[in-house]
Amino acid sequence: MDFPVSRLRRMRRTEALRSLVRETHLRPEALIYPLFLVPGEGIRRPIGSMPGCFNLSVDEALQEARECVELGLGGLLLFGLPAAKDDDATGAWAEQGIVQTGLRALKADRAFDRLALIADVCLCEYTTHGHCGVISLEGGAPGAGGETRYEIRNDESVELLAKTAVSLARAGADIVAPSDMMDGRVRAIRAQLDDAGCERTPVLSYAAKFASAFYGPFREAADSAPQFGDRRSYQMDGANLREAMREIEQDLREGADMILMKPAMPYLDVLHEARRRFDVPTGAYQVSGEFSMLQAAFERGWLERDRAILESLISIRRAGADFIVTYFAKEAARLLS
C-alpha cells in the first residue's frame, strides 16, 4: 500500500500512539552500573575524564549500591584499584583483594540481593606494566632506549585469570566476567570454578572486545594504562566482524553462559550480527569514551542531555543487547521513572 492510503505519520501523531507501537524498550533492570573500588575509607575521588564517576572506598560503594537498588538497576560491574601492583597481578586473586572485600561487604547485606554482582576478571589493574596478562620482556628492560619488546604469555595468564575468577566467585560474585581476551580463558575459568564447587557461577565473557581508543578514560579510572606497547596483540582489530563471530563461537563452546560486546555504539553492526547468530544472553558495554564524549558535548551545550542519553541506549538495545553496562545507568533509570 502506498501513499495516500498509507500514511506512516498517522501512528506518530501523539505520544499515546507512539508509545503503543514502540518496538524497543529500556528498563532499569537491564542496566548495569560499573564501580571502581579503592582501599581505604570515606574515599569518593572524582575521575577527571568521567564527570560524575568516582573511585570509591568500600563504605562509599555501599552507599552507591543502595542508590542503585532504589533506582531498580539490574546490577553492578566491579573493578578494583589495588593498594599495590606487581608483575604477577597478585592483587587480582588475593583473599583480601579490593574487589573480594567489596563483594563480601555487599553480600553481607540482604538489601543488595536485588543486584547482580558482576566481577570483572582481568589483570591490567593489578600488574605494574598494565597489560591484561603476564609478560616476558625481550631484548632488555623497558625504557632502555627504543621500543620495549615483550610477549604476552597466554597460557600462564589464563592460569592466573582462572585463579582470579575462583577467588571472586568465592567472595560472592554472582557472575564472573573475563575481559582480558586471552585464548582459552573461558574453558579454564569454567573448569576451575567447577573444581572449586562454584558450578553455579555463570561466566559472562567479553567475547568480542575490540582494541579501542574509546577505553581511554577508563584507564584513568582504573589506573590500568599499559606502561609500554598497546593491547592490539590480544584485543580484536576493529575492522573484523567475522573474526568477532569466531571469538563468540569459541567462548560459547568453552562454556560461556552469556556474552558481552564492547565497545557498543561504534560496533552496533557486530552486536546485531551476534544477536542474529547466537541465541544466548547478549550484553553490550557502552564504554568510558562513549560516555565521556557525550558528557563533553553536554558540557558545551551541544547536545540535549536527557534525549541523547536515552537515544544512545535505545540504539544499543535495538541492535540486539539484552542488557547494557553503562556509566549512565543511574541517570537513565531516573529518566525512565
- Active-site positions? 209, 262
Distance CA 44, CA 62 (A): 12
Binder among 55, 127, 179, 201 for ligand PBG (CB under 6 A): 179
Q: Is 150 in the site for ligand PBG (CB under 6 A)?
A: no
Which of 120, 254, 273, 331: binder of ligand PBG (CB under 6 A)?
Answer: 120
CB of 192 or CB of 288, closer to ligand PBG = 288
d(CA 99, CA 82): 9
- Closest to ligand PBG by CB, 61 or 182: 182
Residue 168 as a binder of ligand PBG (CB under 6 A): the answer is: no
Paired with 36 in beta bridges are: 55, 79
Q: Which residues contact 151 (CB under 8 A, 6 or more apart)?
A: 135, 136, 138
Helix axes 268-277, 305-319, angle to 10 degrees: 40
Full DSSP string of 73-133:
--EEEEEE--S--BTT-HHHH-TT-HHHHHHHHHHT-GGGTTSEEEEEE-STTTBTT--SS
Minimum CB–partner distance for residue 111 and ligand PBG (Å): 27
| Smaller CB separation from ligand PBG, 70 or 87 | 87
Q: What is the DSSP letter of 210?
A: B
**Which residues pair with residue 56 across a beta bridge?**
37, 44
Number of residues that bind ligand PBG (CB under 6 A): 13
- A 10 A CB-CB count for 323 gives 23
Residue whose CB is less far from ligand PBG, 19 or 54: 54
CB of 286 to ligand PBG, least distance (A): 8
CB of 108 to ligand PBG, least distance (A): 26
Please give the Cα distance from 154 to 251 (Å, whole number): 16
Q: Does 175 bind ligand PBG (CB under 6 A)?
A: no
Q: Write out the H or E segment, with its range, that includes residue 305.
A: helix 305-319
Q: Which amino acid is at 23?
A: E
ω before 281 within 30° of 0 (cis)? no
* Chosen residue from 122, 173, 313, 332 binding ligand PBG by CB under 6 A: 122
* Binder among 270, 287, 294, 316 for ligand PBG (CB under 6 A): 287
Count CB neighbours of 184 within 10 A.
Answer: 16
108/221 with CB nearer ligand PBG = 221
Residue of 71, 116, 119, 124 that binds ligand PBG (CB under 6 A): 124
Q: 132 or 204: whose CB is closer to ligand PBG? A: 132
How far is residue 237's CA from residue 113's CA, in Å, rounded to a whole number? 38
Residue 288 touches ligand PBG, criterion: CB under 6 A? yes
> What is the number of other CB atoms lying within 10 angstroms of the CB of residue 246?
12
Q: Take residue 325 and report the three cell numbers written for it.
A: 553496562
Alpha-carbon distance of 189 to 203, in angstroms, equals: 8
User: Does the protein bind ligand PBG through residue 148 (CB under 6 A)?
Assistant: no
Per CB under 6 A, 164 contacts ligand PBG: no
Structure-block grid coordinates of residue 172: 560472592
Query: Is 132 among the residues that bind ligand PBG (CB under 6 A)?
Result: yes
Q: How far is the CB of 213 from ligand PBG (least distance, A)?
A: 10
- Stretches 55-63, 81-89, 140-148, 212-220: which one binds ligand PBG (CB under 6 A)? 212-220
Q: Considering the rule CB under 6 A, would residue 328 count as an interface residue with ligand PBG? A: no
| In the complex, least distance from residue 224 CB atom to ligand PBG, rounded to whole angstroms | 6
Name which of 272, 243, 248 is nearest 259 in CA terms: 248
- Is 32 a residue that touches ligand PBG (CB under 6 A)? no
Side chain identity at residue 218, one-letter code:
F
Q: Which residues form the interface with ligand PBG (CB under 6 A)?
A: 120, 122, 124, 132, 179-180, 215, 218-219, 224, 231, 287-288
